[in-house]
């Protein structure tokens, strides 16, 4: 088996779209990012890449490349899953934590878990999600951390 860890963080700003796990979340603030800024998918993508020692998002999809401007983070995850498959592995389980003060993410848990499970090809009981606030320490900040367990094909 292989275990990988990934994390991502973005500053938040007004007028930006907030997407987490491929799900659009109504919010006055969204991440400042080159791509769509989906910190949850970025963390999961890096966890998968880390597990198979295949680099990270920045090495595969640099923010200096114009074709990555506004890019859908699901593309990044698909590429990571393909790299894992080529190396003989598949994702068996993911656990992730998102830190965001507002909006509250609890009401969106089912939608995010379902979308993430679908993207990973997993049953929903193999996708653990925790949502935390910064307790006011970082109100203009979004952070996600993820651990991925990969097993041989």
pLDDT-based confidence at residue 130 (cuts at 50, 70, 90): very high
Q: What pLDDT was estimated at residue 93?
A: 98
Residue 36 to residue 76: CA distance in whole angstroms: 11
Nearest CA to 22 among 83, 60, 71?
71
Please, which residues have CB within 8 angstroms of residue 104's CB and are 6 or more apart in sequence? 131
Q: Residue 146: give its domain's CATH number.
A: 3.30.1330.50
- The angle formed by the CA atoms of residues 8, 72 and 134, to the nearest 5 degrees, is 30
Query: How many domains are contained in the chain?
Result: 1
Placement of tokens 């498959």 in the chain? 85
- The angle formed by the CA atoms of residues 60, 61 and 64, to the nearest 5 degrees, is 125
The per-residue pLDDT for range 39-89, each reduced to its tens digit, is 999 999 999 999 999 999 999 999 899 999 989 999 999 999 999 999 999
Which structural domain range is residue 105 located in?
Answer: 2-152
The per-residue pLDDT for range 6-25, each reduced to its tens digit, is 999 999 999 999 999 999 99
The per-residue pLDDT for range 87-108, each reduced to its tens digit, is 999 999 999 999 999 999 999 9
Q: What pLDDT was estimated at residue 108?
A: 98
Structure tokens of 11? 């500053």
Q: What pLDDT was estimated at residue 85?
A: 98
Query: pTM value?
Result: 0.97
């Amino acid at each position: 088996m292989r275990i990988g860890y990934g994390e991502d963080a973005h500053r938040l700003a007004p007028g930006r779209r907030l997407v987490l796990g491929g799900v659009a979340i109504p919010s006055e603030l969204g991440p400042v990012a080159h791509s769509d800024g989906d910190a949850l998918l970025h963390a999961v993508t890096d966890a998968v890449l880390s597990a198979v020692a295949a680099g990270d998002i920045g090495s595969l999809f640099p923010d200096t490349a114009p074709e990555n401007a506004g890019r859908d983070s699901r593309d990044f995850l698909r590429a990571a899953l393909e790299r894992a498959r080529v190396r003989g592995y598949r994702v068996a389980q993911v656990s992730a934590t998102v830190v965001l003060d507002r909006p509250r993410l609890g009401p969106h848990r089912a939608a995010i878990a379902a979308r993430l499970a679908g993207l990973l090809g997993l049953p929903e009981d193999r996708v653990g999600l925790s949502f935390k606030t910064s307790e006011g320490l970082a109100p203009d900040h979004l952070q996600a951390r993820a651990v991925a367990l990969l097993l041989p094909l």
